[in-house]
């Protein structure tokens, strides 16, 4: 790097570990320091995307020592790591931000919206018994039922990780000693839904996040009703409410029998985003995207972090065939940033959102955008 009057000389390379590191770690070393002044970890994932298995980099461990902040070190390691991912053909990257505005400068955009619901017992009292049975898992029990539910629930969800086991950390932990409980709903001897939660101030927390590592997952709306009915009947005297994370498209206000209690002050719904995402290799992402119908589009990607990812891409698509993608000099139908492109390809946004999206400029309004950009389920539950 070039030395200036206000930025010390630094170099970027992989951090060396005494034992093999599970994930690539990048460090910025300043003026001969033996320890990095800034770091970043790329957690490699295999994820689902439009019926394909694709690579995704899960960005974590981004940190800078206080004396070296605001010197461009994070930008340098973000650029180096993302350019290496691009060189390896990785289509997407994702992260859980401490501040969305900070990562916006690196081309990231908000992921799919989620809702965190707080449901008091009064709002669950009208749910009828759905049949089936519920079992509780204990440390040492097989977590295969959780993996079965996860694989079924996530089979068509973009950016969901492809897992060999549900959670190796959970398998090794004494989760009851941590205050966490696991309940599985079964029907016809098949696991169809589960709750992972822990009690705080008489509220069962099943949110998915760093502070509450819980989950509510189900293979059908009926399975969700069964889990909610189970909580109401089993925890009526032990808990005042259930708190859980659900996709934004699951509208509990209209889903629950009889609606919500009008007098309940504890019912709440908070809107959150499922991390942030961006396209790392636009050509590969466009090639994997599942298009509808026949036609072509020219998309211009403007990527300030990965120059190699910028350019104009001609996508020719035909129903039932793989997309043909090539660089072109043709006038673009659309100019877009890598974050906005990820939102559209993954189904979080559609052409109806163009007027409200930053980093999107439409040059040909009558282009067949809806063939490439249409609603799809998208979310990643992993924490990195």
> Measured between alpha carbons, how far is 144 from 230 in angstroms, rounded to an integer?
21
Domain assignment of residue 163, yes or no: yes
Last residue of a domain, one of 255, 273, 291: 273
> Measured between alpha carbons, how far is 59 from 381 in angstroms, rounded to an integer?
14
Taking the CA atoms of 52, 277, 377 and 365 in sequence, report the sign of the dihedral they define.
Answer: negative
User: Do 329 and 266 belong to one domain?
Assistant: no
> Measured between alpha carbons, how far is 195 from 30 in angstroms, rounded to an integer?
47
Looking at per-residue pLDDT, the higher value among 178 and 190 belongs to: 190
Domain assignment of residue 152, yes or no: yes
Instruction: Give the domain CATH number at 353.
Output: 3.30.1050.10
For residue 34 the two structure tokens come to 């033996």
Instruction: Give the domain CATH number at 267.
Output: 3.40.630.30
Average of pLDDT values for 214-235? Answer: 96
Query: Is residue 196 within 8 Å of 227, Cβ to Cβ?
Result: no
- Checking if the pLDDT of 2 tops 90, the result is no
pLDDT digits (tens, 9 = 90+) for 67-104: 899 889 999 999 999 999 999 999 999 999 998 999 99
Between vectors from CA 55 to CA 53 and to CA 61, what angle results, nearest 5°? 140
pLDDT digits (tens, 9 = 90+) for 29-48: 888 788 899 999 999 999 99
Domain assignment of residue 106, yes or no: no
- Checking if the pLDDT of 136 tops 70, the result is yes
pLDDT digits (tens, 9 = 90+) for 311-339: 999 999 998 899 999 999 999 999 999 99
Please, what is the average pLDDT of the chain? Answer: 91
User: Do 118 and 264 belong to one domain?
Assistant: yes
- Give the three-state DSSP class for 238: coil
User: Do 131 and 76 belong to one domain?
Assistant: no
Query: Is residue 329 within 8 Å of 312, Cβ to Cβ?
Result: yes
Residue 271 burial by Cβ neighbours in a 10 Å radius (0-12, 13-18, 19+): exposed
- Checking if the pLDDT of 8 tops 80, the result is no
Runs of H (alpha helix) within the chain: 73-87, 100-104, 144-154, 168-172, 221-234, 252-255, 282-288, 338-345
Q: What does residue 342 show for φ and ψ, rounded to 5 degrees?
A: -65, -45
- How many C-beta neighbours within 10 Å does residue 213 have? 20
Domain assignment of residue 346, yes or no: yes
User: Do 248 and 117 belong to one domain?
Assistant: yes
Q: Please, which pLDDT band fits residue 178 given cuts at 50, 70 and 90? A: confident
| Most confident region among 12-21, 136-145, 243-252 by mean pLDDT | 136-145
Domain assignment of residue 379, yes or no: no
> Measured between alpha carbons, how far is 318 from 298 in angstroms, rounded to an integer?
15
DSSP state of 72: S
> Measured between alpha carbons, how far is 147 from 75 in angstroms, rounded to an integer?
37
Last residue of a domain, one of 229, 248, 273: 273
Confidence (pLDDT) at 6: 35
Last residue of a domain, one of 215, 240, 273: 273
Beta-strand relationship, 190-200 and 180-187: antiparallel
> Measured between alpha carbons, how far is 2 from 76 in angstroms, rounded to an integer?
12
Residue 374 burial by Cβ neighbours in a 10 Å radius (0-12, 13-18, 19+): middle
User: Do 264 and 310 belong to one domain?
Assistant: no
Q: Which domain holds residue 307?
A: 276-371
User: Do 285 and 362 belong to one domain?
Assistant: yes
User: Do 238 and 292 belong to one domain?
Assistant: no
Domain assignment of residue 68, yes or no: yes
Domain assignment of residue 2, yes or no: no
Report how many domains make up the chain: 3
Q: Please, which pLDDT band fits residue 15 given cuts at 50, 70 and 90? A: low
User: Do 124 and 240 belong to one domain?
Assistant: yes
User: Do 138 and 74 belong to one domain?
Assistant: no
Looking at per-residue pLDDT, the higher value among 17 and 153 belongs to: 153
> Measured between alpha carbons, how far is 15 from 36 in angstroms, rounded to an integer?
8
Domain assignment of residue 376, yes or no: no
User: Do 265 and 280 belong to one domain?
Assistant: no
> Measured between alpha carbons, how far is 283 from 261 in angstroms, rounded to an integer?
50
Q: Please, which pLDDT band fits residue 3 given cuts at 50, 70 and 90? A: very low
User: Do 333 and 244 belong to one domain?
Assistant: no
User: Do 246 and 319 belong to one domain?
Assistant: no
Mean pLDDT lowest among 8-12, 182-186, 213-217, 339-343? 8-12
Q: Which of 36, 45, 32, 33 is nearest to 13 (CA)?
A: 36
Query: Is residue 121 within 8 Å of 232, Cβ to Cβ?
Result: yes
Confidence (pLDDT) at 13: 56
Query: Is residue 345 within 8 Å of 289, Cβ to Cβ?
Result: yes
pLDDT digits (tens, 9 = 90+) for 358-379: 999 999 999 999 999 999 999 9
Confidence (pLDDT) at 210: 83
């Amino acid at each position: 790097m070039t030395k200036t009057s206000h930025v010390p000389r630094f170099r970027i390379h992989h951090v060396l570990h005494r034992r093999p590191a599970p994930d690539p770690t990048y460090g910025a070393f300043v003026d001969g320091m033996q320890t990095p002044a800034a770091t970043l970890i790329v957690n490699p994932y295999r994820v689902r995307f439009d019926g394909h298995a694709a690579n995704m980099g899960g960005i974590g461990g981004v940190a800078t020592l206080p004396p070296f902040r605001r010197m461009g070190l994070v930008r340098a390691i973000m650029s180096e790591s993302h350019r290496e991912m691009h060189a390896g053909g990785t289509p997407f990257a994702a992260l859980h931000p401490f501040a969305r505005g900070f990562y916006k400068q690196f081309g990231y955009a908000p992921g799919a919206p989620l809702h965190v619901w707080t449901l008091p017992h009064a709002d669950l009292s009208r749910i009828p018994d759905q049949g089936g049975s519920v079992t509780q898992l204990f440390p040492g029990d097989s977590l295969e039922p959780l993996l079965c539910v996860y694989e079924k629930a996530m089979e068509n969800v973009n950016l969901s990780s492809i897992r060999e086991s549900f959670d190796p950390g959970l398998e090794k932990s004494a989760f009851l000693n941590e205050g966490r409980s696991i309940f599985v709903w079964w029907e016809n001897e098949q696991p169809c839904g589960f709750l992972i939660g822990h009690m705080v101030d008489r509220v069962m927390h099943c949110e998915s996040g760093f502070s509450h590592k819980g989950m509510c997952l189900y293979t059908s709306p009926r399975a969700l009703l069964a889990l909610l009915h189970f909580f109401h009947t089993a925890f009526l005297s032990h808990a005042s409410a259930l708190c859980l994370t659900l996709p934004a498209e699951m509208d509990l206000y209209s889903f629950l029998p009889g609606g919500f209690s009008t007098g309940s002050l504890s019912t709440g719904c908070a809107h959150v985003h499922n991390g942030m995402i961006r396209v790392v290799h636009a050509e590969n992402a466009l090639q994997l995207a599942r298009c509808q119908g026949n036609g072509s589009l020219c998309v211009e990607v403007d990527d300030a972090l990965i120059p190699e990812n910028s350019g104009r891409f001609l996508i020719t698509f035909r129903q039932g065939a793989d997309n043909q993608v090539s660089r072109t000099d043709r006038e673009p139908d659309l100019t877009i940033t890598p974050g906005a492109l990820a939102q559209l390809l993954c189904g979080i946004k559609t052409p109806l959102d163009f007027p409200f999206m930053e980093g999107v400029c439409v040059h040909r309004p009558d282009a067949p955008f809806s063939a490439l950009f249409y609603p799809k389920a998208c979310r990643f539950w992993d924490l990195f």
